[in-house]
Amino acid sequence: MLRHESALLLAESVDLVLAELAKGPDATELSQKTIRYPEGGGEKMERAALVGERCDRVLLKTLRGWLMSVPRQVASGTACEGERSAGATAPKGQ
């Protein structure tokens, strides 16, 4: 179970990086906002721009230019099971 989940997360990370590299340098500025997300038993905050969304995760670009895939505040449960194997959605347009 843990190996399978780790493999899925690694595959998703590689897909996200390849998609970001394929876009090339981005001249448009994304609007930054404070995004809250659950981590462990608490809540974390990150100043970032929203790059993409899925039913269970959000893709952010931080002020440092790092990509982060973080869980949403409210998990949707079983509605996300089919999407998990399909990969991330395309980034939202500006």
pLDDT in tens, the chain (94 residues): 899 989 998 998 898 888 878 877 765 677 899 999 998 889 999 999 998 888 888 889 999 988 898 988 765 555 566 554 454 444 444 3
Specify if 26 maps to a domain.
Answer: yes
- Among candidates 51, 50, 90, 56, which has minimal Cα distance to 73? 56
pLDDT for 47:
95
Reduced to 3 states (helix: H, G, I; strand: E, B; else coil), residue 85 is: helix
We report the CATH number of the domain holding residue 12 as: 2.30.30
pTM above 0.95, yes or no: no
Closest by alpha carbon to 53, among 30, 31, 69? 69
Residue 69 covered by a domain: yes
How many structural domains compose the chain?
1
Task: Report CA torsion sign: 24, 30, 33, 37.
Answer: negative
Token pair 């998609």 is found at 19
Residue 55 forms part of a structural domain: yes
Residue 91 lies in a domain: no
Residue 92 lies in a domain: no
For residue 24, the enclosing domain spans 2-86
Determine, yes or no, domain membership for 51: yes
